[in-house]
Amino acid sequence: MKNIDKTKFNDRTNLQIIDQLKSLAYNLWWTWNPEAALIYKELSPLIWETSNHSAVAVLRRISDAELKARLGDPDFFKRVNKILDEYSEYMSCSNTWCTQNFPELINNPIAYFSAEFGLHECLPIYSGGLGVLAGDFAKSASDLGIPFYGISLYYRLGYFKQKISDDGWQFEEYPQINTDDVPIQPLIDQNGNPVQTSVTIGHSNVKLHAWKINIGRVNVILLDSNLPENELHFRELTGRVYGGDISTRIMQEIILGIGGVKILRAIGINPAIFHMNEGHSAFLTLELLREQVNKGLTLNQAEEYVKKHCIFTTHTPVEAGHDRFPKSLIELQLSNYLKELKLSVDDIMKYGRVNEQDQNELFCMTVLALKFSKVSNAVSKLHSQVSKAMWKNLYPKVSVNEVPIIHITNGVHTPGWANVKAHEFWNKRLGYDWTEKIMDKEYWEKFTNHEIASDEELWALRNILRRELIEFVRMHYLNLHLNRVSISDLDNILSPDVLTIGFARRFAVYKRAPLIFKNFEKLVELVNSKSTPIQIIFSGKAHPRDDEGKRYIQKIINYTKDPRFYGKIIFVENYDINVARYLISGSDVWLNTPRRPLEASGTSGMKIAIHGGLHLSTLDGWWVEAYNGKNGWSIGNEQSYSNEEEQDKADADSLMNILTNEVIPQFYNRDTMGIPREWIKRIRISIQSLIPEYSSHRMVSEYVKKCYKLE
């Protein structure tokens, strides 16, 4: 990207500018280029806010006459042109990481199937880490120039909106997405007609149409069963993220896997690789088999073909987290489809069983995916050890260590996660091209010295971001308690000078949100310290059917009402990508307390480094690999426990010790200028050691090298 003054803008008429702004609104490129997002925000701050930041919603409500008039402001005109130049340069660039390193891939697209994509807050078609990872994957695939097609479902009711009752219980609302207000468009063919396909579910032929999301240079295609030709219960099938029971689940997965392959064929895409992000999409292997058998291959040959073209990523170290279906359900929903494949239900059951002869074993989507993939991987080193042990019976001929599940540790799309203020800060100090050097380790080495940014500047950034988070939380509080709050009441909600700890993620029980309350009296003391206080902000949703997770939320809500914690421990409702962005940028310390080894990787802790946040976590998932003693802190050690209570106690004690003896004293240890030098030194090491390694660019490039190699 270029400096604004040096740029010679492409000549555009006002009409062309308006057209291009509309077209850019439909490309999520603007979500990781905040100068572009700011243009839409500025056009109508109110619509921007009420649409959860949708450029499409803003432009729909601004007349061409107003747009034309607004372009009469020379400064605005200049900024819009600069962005449009950058955008067109990005879109037309023919010299990418992929063309330079893996040119043979260019005409061999990757199809990446994922039940959820977390791309932006205005598109609530994700529930948590898996979706956010898929979203970051797509953005990095675009940046690196990988020919990539994402496949998912269009959840018109999305994942739920979280509301909390007066007694602290989560309930769920499903507001319908207004398709006209979000950056998705109908998938059409060359003649402009909507593309359709269909899948066989039970005895019915379910018609599907599809939507397209542009993510820079790549697309995600969303399948949708909501067509008037379908019976009502089929129309609602793709309504909610992981909605309903296992019966809904298997039907959604038929649409994702089988429908996904069919929609790609319908638009003439012939992927070289089918990447299953988690087992939900594993039925795609059956459709690939069917295609090959129809072409005249024997079943054996067809199986070999499928194994050459599929790869699989597992994300679940918990047995219960893997989709399993009883034979009766497979029979009910798939037996008709299987006729085309000339296979019986019993034949298919073998594909989904560890022990093929065991009539009682359920059909497991993970097993299906593992059996048909040429490479399978876990998402961190520790997770690959856990996965190898979990699936060792599938590979009776090799030892546990030789079970073929490699690891590719997750990463995050840092330009997309960096707060606007952080972008401005690094643009000024590193130049606009820092976002293009994300995985260049040498580049980030320089953060250990002071040439790039002084301690004072980094400390200023921390204070800007902390204040922004606190004002966001206060605004949230104001909205919740409208009419009952005076401005001065807000002074009692958090303090911009206090060490701020963030904890936000799905409220899955193993993540142990209430762990810090285990040493209750000690926590009361820390929070209420006169000289070195701490404050904690919680946020997160429990799965609609996870009552234990909901009880954890209730527990924390009750603590926030305790006078000893009031205004100092806060719960922010309706965790989503937007809330996440405030929390990961404003928190001084990011707390993560999964019960080892149940966190496959975790990614939220990777998003904080660019903001100067520091990670405090158990040595689980990615953090065992990343922690070097100086770039954050660890809770506990690498010990394994057989007893959960014992483990929780040890970790809770360790957490308190680290907070009391290291984290808090270092934060408040200021020199005469008021700067915490040791703290900032830790920030520098965190930036330098974490940003290049835990970026999704590094992750995607590793998938290319280890999994997408062509045969």
Ligand X SMILES: *Cc1c(COP(=O)(O)O)cnc(C)c1O
Contact positions toward ligand X, by CB under 6 A? 128-129, 132, 505-506, 575-577, 580, 602-604
Residue showing the smallest CB distance to ligand X in the complex: 604
Query: Which helix or strand (DSSP H or E) is residue 464 part of?
Result: helix 455-480
CB of 572 to ligand X, least distance (A): 12
CB atoms inside a 10 Å sphere around CB 463: 12
6 to 12, 121, 204: CA distances (angstroms)? 18, 34, 61
CB of 132 to ligand X, least distance (A): 4
CB of 421 to ligand X, least distance (A): 18
Q: Which of 485, 486, 538 is nearest to 515 (CA)?
A: 538
Q: Which of 580, 559, 589 is nearest to 571 (CA)?
A: 559
> For helices 420-430 and 34-43, what crossing angle results, to 10°?
130
Q: The tokens 């879109």 sit on which residue?
A: 91
CB atoms inside a 10 Å sphere around CB 580: 21
Nearer to ligand X, 388 or 505 (CB): 505
CB 210 within 8 A of CB 224: yes
CB of 350 to ligand X, least distance (A): 35
CB of 418 to ligand X, least distance (A): 13
Nearer to ligand X, 96 or 114 (CB): 114
Quote the CA–CA distance of 580 and 590 in Å, as a whole number: 11
CB of 313 to ligand X, least distance (A): 15
Q: The tokens 């100086």 sit on which residue?
A: 630
Quote the CA–CA distance of 678 and 681 in Å, as a whole number: 5
Query: Which helix or strand (DSSP H or E) is residue 18 part of?
Result: helix 14-25
CB of 680 to ligand X, least distance (A): 24
CB of 503 to ligand X, least distance (A): 9
CB 705 within 8 A of CB 101: no
Hey, CA dihedral for 121, 124, 127, 131, is it positive or negative?
negative
CB of 117 to ligand X, least distance (A): 12
CB of 581 to ligand X, least distance (A): 8
CB of 64 to ligand X, least distance (A): 35
- Exposed / middle / buried, residue 310 (Cβ in 10 Å: 0-12, 13-18, 19+): buried
CB of 604 to ligand X, least distance (A): 3
> What does 313-369 look like in DSSP terms, one character per residue?
E----SGGGS-EE-HHHHHHHHHHHHHHHT--HHHHHHHT-SSTT-TTPPEEHHHHH
Backbone angles phi, psi at 227, to 5 degrees: -130, 145
Nearer to ligand X, 414 or 666 (CB): 414
CB 231 within 8 A of CB 204: yes
Nearer to ligand X, 257 or 602 (CB): 602
Nearer to ligand X, 470 or 580 (CB): 580
Find all residues with CB under 8 Å of 249, minimum gap 6, and list them.
242, 323
Nearer to ligand X, 262 or 423 (CB): 423
Nearer to ligand X, 128 or 260 (CB): 128
Nearer to ligand X, 18 or 508 (CB): 508
CB atoms inside a 10 Å sphere around CB 595: 18
CB 488 within 8 A of CB 609: no
Nearer to ligand X, 260 or 502 (CB): 502
Q: What is the radius of gyration, based on Cα positions, of the chain? A: 25
Q: Which of 596, 682, 691 is nearest to 641 (CA)?
A: 596
CB 395 within 8 A of CB 356: no
Nearer to ligand X, 199 or 619 (CB): 619
Q: Which of 430, 455, 429 is nearest to 680 (CA)?
A: 455
Nearer to ligand X, 576 or 588 (CB): 576
Nearer to ligand X, 131 or 260 (CB): 131
